[in-house]
Structure 1
Amino acid sequence: MMELQGICHKMHAALKEDSVTDQQASKANVEYKFILDRSEIDLPFLPGQELEIEWTGNIYCTSCGAKTPKSYAQGHCFKCFKTKAECDLCIMKPETCHYHLGTCREDEFAHNVCFQPHIVYLANSSALKVGITRVNHMPTRWLDQGATQALPILKVGSRRLSGQLETLFGTQVADKTDWRKLLKGEAEPLDLIQQRDQIIEEFAPKIQAIREEFGQNLEFNESVEFLEKEQPREFVYPVDQYPEKIKSLNLDKTPKIRGVLHGIKGQYLIFDIGVINVRKYSGYQLILRT
């Protein structure tokens, strides 16, 4: 029997190095590591294996480390939630970035995160969606969302610019994933190249207007680059069996759960008794037992 205890963070998802020969055109297998106290642990995943998760009742802020009675914004205490830039509304809605207004919570955070190259992409998780991510967060962002297909379509110079484009495309394409459909099976394959071409053609005048508006920023390089040569990437998750009905497991209500692990997709563990979103419990002190 194995027992591990520590502060939970979102699982680390990556592509198996030997699963593809050309990641631009082939399917790649996804593997996971559980994170406790910021140390990576090979998740004891075997089809049919039992896994127990117990919450000790303690929660610690993933930013400052202070003990907190409640978790805010996926693992923060209330003080950090109100003061840290990573918890500001513009993280969820990047088009509302207010750095240019001089009201950013942390100037260093803005330079290290918001003014780094971002990708606007199409993905297929439960259906077609549009999203954004920093260049160095590919393919992690797609894997965290449980996408089976993804295609970068634009590369831009800032988070606010990527948010403007995501909002623009969001008038025609969803920007959210239906997590219940995600966990019921694989999404029907889509022709992402065709979807990309339709979107770019339809929104060409508005994209150009946004390029001209942001191109006037001399402090940062807020360019827009079309990624015509990119090809769809496809991902295969370690799921042995999908549930017929979705039951969400809640450690706040049931601090100890034990079940047979059937798979992992996105940030969800799929058990025979239900599913649990690991990322939701960032900052929770957990005990894992097999």
Structure 2
Amino acid sequence: MELSGNLHKMPVKLLDGKAHYTLELNGDKGDLNGALGEKINLHFTGQINCINCGRKIKKTFGQGFCYPCFRDAPQASECIIHPERCRGHLGEGRDPEWEQKHHVQPHFVYLGVSSGLKVGITRETQIPTRWIDQGAKAGIILAKTTNRYEAGVIEVALKDHFADKTSWQRMLKGDIRDVDLLEEKEKARKFIPDEMSDFFYDENGIISIEYPLLESPDKVKSIKFDKEPTINGTLTGIKGQYLILDNKFVTNIRNQSGYFVEVEV
């Protein structure tokens, strides 16, 4: 497999409980699950392009944007990180039409188990994609809202009682305690604000996810193209948005979106 182009978040899907990854570079696609156990070489050419407008840049902002797009594009607006500040449902925002399409849509508040139990939100259409991107081994839906703002309000209320961040090291090593998601969902229910209680999600389906791993690493060391233009080794695993090489070196593909690379397996 030989590919070249700008990195973007790896497309993922869940088939029979197993996460499947594709490396997609400017239209070129490669099956990464099929490359497990093979030697892989990724070479950064030194070129970076904004993932929104395509202009050549020297550094990225917010996972792949040039500074003007990071400042002005709706995909990089404040409410991506802070959904409770979303104004889309009021007809406001950087691009109200974009907000209507992406944020004034049903959202889920969920509990996931990545490096531990955490709360998060995502659009209805992004389950289980969001959980795979975070390296979660399981997840359950807590609430279903009509827009991003409502989901953000619920998430903020739950942050006082549940983590909202993932430790990438623990997630990759699989050093995770068992969690009873049904029990935790019942605990979380009482922290939903009264005015949002009607959004509680009654269905209790748990989605479990297996990742393409030859084995879980005991130690992990992050490597990036800014310091190592050529990254190579045996592909021993894929989890979250990380490639795991030689069972110890990891590189985050999503965080290096816009980097032009040449890939050979």
Q: What is the TM-score normalised by the length of structure 1? A: 0.86
**1:284 maps to which residue?**
259
User: How many pairs does the alignment contain?
Assistant: 264
1:64–1:80 contact (8 Å) kept in structure 2: yes
Say which one has the larger Rg. Answer: 1
- Deviation, 1:44, is 6.0
| Structure 1 Cα separation of the partners of residues 91 and 209 of structure 2 | 41
Post-superposition offset of 1:189 = 2.6
Q: Which moved more, 1:88-97 or 1:40-49?
A: 40-49
* Letter paired with 1:241: E
User: What is residue 221 of structure 1 aligned with on the other side?
Assistant: none
| CA distance, structure 2, for counterparts of residue 200 and residue 121 of structure 1 | 11
Q: Alpha-carbon deviation of 1:170?
A: 0.7
Question: Hey, what does 2:238 align to over in structure 1?
Answer: 264
Q: Which residue identity does 1:285 align to in structure 2?
A: F
Equivalent residue, structure 2, for 1:7: 6
**3-state DSSP class of the match of 2:173?**
coil
- Mapped to 2, the partners of 1:169 and 1:196 lie a distance apart of 11
How do 1:1-290 residues align onto structure 2 when only pairs under 5 Å count?
2-16=1-15, 19=16, 28-43=17-32, 45-99=34-88, 104-185=93-174, 187-201=176-190, 203=191, 207-210=193-196, 224-272=198-246, 273-290=248-265
Aligned partners of 1:75, 1:148: CA distance in 2, in Å?
Answer: 27
CA distance in 2, matches of 1:74, 1:83: 15
Q: Is 1:242–1:270's contact at 8 Å kept on the other side of the alignment?
A: no
Matching residue of 1:217: none
Q: Unmatched 5+ residue regions in structure 1?
A: 20-27, 212-223
**2:102 & 2:28 partners in 1: Cα distance?**
23
One-letter identity of the residue aligned with 2:217: P
Instruction: Give 1:235 shift.
Output: 0.5
What's the TM-score, normalizing by structure 2? 0.94
- Distance change >3 Å, CA 100–CA 144, structure 1 → 2: closer
Is the 2:6–2:259 Cα contact (8 Å) retained in structure 1?
yes
SS of 2:6's equivalent in the other structure is strand
Aligned amino acid, residue 257 of structure 2 = S
Which ranges of structure 2 fall in alignment gaps of 5 or more residues? none
Deviates more, 1:90-99 or 1:173-182: 90-99
1:153 to partner: Cα distance: 1.2
**2: CA distance between counterparts of 1:73 and 1:257?**
22
CA displacement, residues 250-282 of structure 1 (integer Å, 9 cap, x when unaligned): 110110011111100000001115100000111
- Give me the whole-angstrom Cα distance separating, in 2, the residues matched to 1:117 and 1:10: 23
